[in-house]
Amino acid sequence: MAESAGDIKYLPGVGPKRAELLKKEFDIATPEDLIRIYPFRYIDRTGFQRIADLRPDLAYVQILGQVVSATLLGPSGAVVDPTPPIKFQAVKRLSVMVTDGSGTLEVVFFKGIRWNWQHLRPGERFVFFGKPSVFNDRINLVHPEVDAPQAAGTMGQGTLTGVYPSSEALKNGGITGKVMCKLQAAALEACLPTLVDPLPDYVLHDKGLVPLAFALRNIHFPKSADALQKAIRRLKFEELFLLQLSLLKQKYIRSRADNGLPMPKVGAEFNACYDALPYSLTGAQKRVIKEIRTDLTGGRQMNRLLQGDVGSGKTMVAVLSCLLAADNGYQSCIMAPTEVLARQHYANICRYLAPTKVRCALLTGSSTQRERREIHAGLQDGSIGIIVGTHALLEDNVLFQRLGLAVIDEQHRFGVDQRARLWDKGPGAPPHVLVMTATPIPRTLAMTLYGDLDVSVIDEMPPGRKPVQTLLITPSRKAALYKFMREEIARGRQVFVVYPLIFESEKTDLKNLEQGYEEIVNAFPLPDYKVAIVHGQQTSEQKEFNMAAFVAGRAQILVSTTVIEVGVDVPNASVMVIESAQRFGLSQLHQLRGRVGRGAEKSYCVLVRDYKTSREALQRLELMCRTEDGFEIAEEDMKMRGPGDLEGTQQSGLPVRLGIASLARDGILLSEAREYAEQVLATDPTLSHPLNTPLTRELRKGRYEVHDYSKIS
């Protein structure tokens, strides 16, 4: 396609005001941008309905009728005098009676009254297209689209008509569905003559795809249902193929860079830790360690994503990987997104390292000046082998003698720029990278979010871990729930109660949390019970103090927001109560449920739903009660909510914007596109062959570059 098809404001029917609106609402700056906004559904305007057959439950109807009469009506329904000069300011609606021989229909206008009064003259025939409704027991059409019979063909008569994404601002600016169709027709007229297909001829031939010009014309104005299907398949494949090509090319270039720190040895420290483990590793953990070991010895920089459900033993794998680095004379850092999680990692890792000689340290925002001085010195002289920390590790004065491995936990919380700062702290070559996530990610989404990483999955739980029983209740069962909580506390257990304070600024949510806290304190009074509360409005000292009280067992109940979603490990907690559970996404509910069931005791997750819960939300909650498989939950979550919302309301969306393909629905096509991208790169890894010039040109535009998530080094 031509590099630029000009400014959108010069397109007939746009102008400066509408151009500004299109830019603001949909980031459309050129006609080329506009033709890449596709209809999300189609209305069949291939025929006419008889007025006698109209029903209010029909979606949209198209009538070819003759105007019988037109009446101007005032506020109380009184007829306004139609003799000139007409006082249009006194007119509230225009009632037009239309017949097609089978019956008579009222067509009503509240806007555009003057124009319709002047054009809809008795005796003239028009095409009316709209949604039937009922008023005073009679079917009518309110604000239908109106076309002359000969013009209808150009606006979709005899075709399927596209319905485009819209907004209140666009409608108020006069960009209705009908106007959008006209603008798309004008944009195609402007762009098609200079169109350059980004897919080479051999790709179209191999995959049986239609050319781009055919696809764009038929996605907007389909000649037939078959032509529309061919257009959709072509445009979806193009998006997914170019996306995978971009990711795999990045991966190929990086894998060829001879910059991996060599770590060939398995030595005393690894063996000391491994031999002292009180339990056997699962088969999945052993397989993943083997994959990591292969990377570390391969002479290339490792960039691996480690996916594992809550409690599957990712930390153990990370520790053993750090010990492989230590055995080869390199230091490791483990970055956690929160101080609570960093402290927890540190406590666990120190326990694992007890049989070894490797020194571990913790660096967070609340480390004292004295601690910092000692840690900085220990990292620079090499005496600290493993450092666990938060963003504090990125500070300029944190320097390593030989940083060889960076483990990044829950990495979606770290930006690319932050990670890049780590690479300047090592011996020259960038460290090996192991990214860990406890959010199970569907395969199709992992291929996109982490398409340029090698992926390892721990798909096995450690033996002896008991399933968490999940129950769904309404607030009417609160008394029974509190009785059950008292019984569990009497047995020495602890309880989480989580409220949906999704955005820290929502006052209503904060009020709900505070009311909930009061309710719990009243139901569980001192001195028999102690209740701690944690939420994002508190200072980090308050949060740490209350969380520590719960972790240490000084408080039996922790009332909290989702700040405890990631990482808090309290093996003694056996009950997770989630209030207004319908407001959480499936993956978030799964993460929260993973906070219990970490000890030897039977554990429970109680989902409390509001009386008013949508059918879709109810399906989500019932799925939670049915399965504990994080990957099954993630697949379902993506189908129900779409990939951009995978982690509930916290998720800001995908790192690339797809115009027509859906990661939730087009998994098979995505796999096909990835396989084909691998084939293309196998014969031309840098896409330098003249045949691949269109691909190189398209990738150079940067639309398919993943800037966050996975471009780690």
Given a contact cutoff of 8 angstroms between Cβ atoms, the answer to whether 589 and 578 are in contact is yes
Helix (H) or strand (E) holding 363: strand 360-363
pLDDT surpasses 60 at 263 = yes
For the chain, what is the mean pLDDT? 84
**CA angle, 532 as apex, 531 and 533 as ends, to 5°?**
125
Model confidence at 449, in pLDDT bands (50, 70, 90)?
A: low
| Burial class of 428 by CB neighbour count within 10 A (0 to 12, 13 to 18, 19+) | exposed
DSSP state of 354: T
Residue 175 phi, psi dihedral angles, 5° rounding: -90, 80
- Which residues in the chain are classed under CATH 2.40.50.140? 47-157
Alpha carbons 269 and 327: distance in angstroms, whole number? 6
pLDDT surpasses 50 at 446 = yes
pLDDT surpasses 90 at 473 = yes
Chain CA centroid to CA 11, Å: 34
Model confidence at 75, in pLDDT bands (50, 70, 90)?
A: confident
Residue showing tokens 């090996």: 432
Model confidence at 597, in pLDDT bands (50, 70, 90)?
A: confident
Model confidence at 233, in pLDDT bands (50, 70, 90)?
A: very high
Question: Is pLDDT larger for residue 48 or for residue 44?
Answer: 48
Longest dimension (CA), the chain: 103
Given a contact cutoff of 8 angstroms between Cβ atoms, the answer to whether 232 and 222 are in contact is no
Question: Is pLDDT larger for residue 43 or for residue 388?
Answer: 388
Torsion of the alpha carbons at 346, 348, 349 and 354, rounded to the nearest 10: 120
Q: Minimum mean pLDDT among 109-123, 156-170, 175-189: which range? A: 156-170
The model's pLDDT over 361-400, given as tens digits with 9 standing for 90+, comes to 999 988 889 999 999 999 999 999 999 998 888 888 899 9
Model confidence at 406, in pLDDT bands (50, 70, 90)?
A: very high
Task: Give the three-state DSSP class for 496.
Answer: strand
The token pair that represents 441 in the structure block = 């990610």
- What's the confidence (pLDDT) of residue 649? 26
Beta bridge partners of 146: 128
Alpha carbons 29 and 226: distance in angstroms, whole number? 31
- Which residues in the chain are classed under CATH 3.40.50.300? 268-298+312-437, 468-627
Alpha carbons 391 and 365: distance in angstroms, whole number? 8
CB atoms within 10 A of CB 399: 13
Was domain 468-627 assigned CATH 3.40.50.300?
yes
Was domain 47-157 assigned CATH 2.40.50.140?
yes
pLDDT surpasses 70 at 495 = yes
Model confidence at 11, in pLDDT bands (50, 70, 90)?
A: very high
The highest-level CATH class for domain 268-298+312-437 is: alpha beta
CA distances from 10 to 31, 35, 148, 188, 227 (A): 9, 15, 27, 14, 30
Provide mean pLDDT across the span 427-451: 74
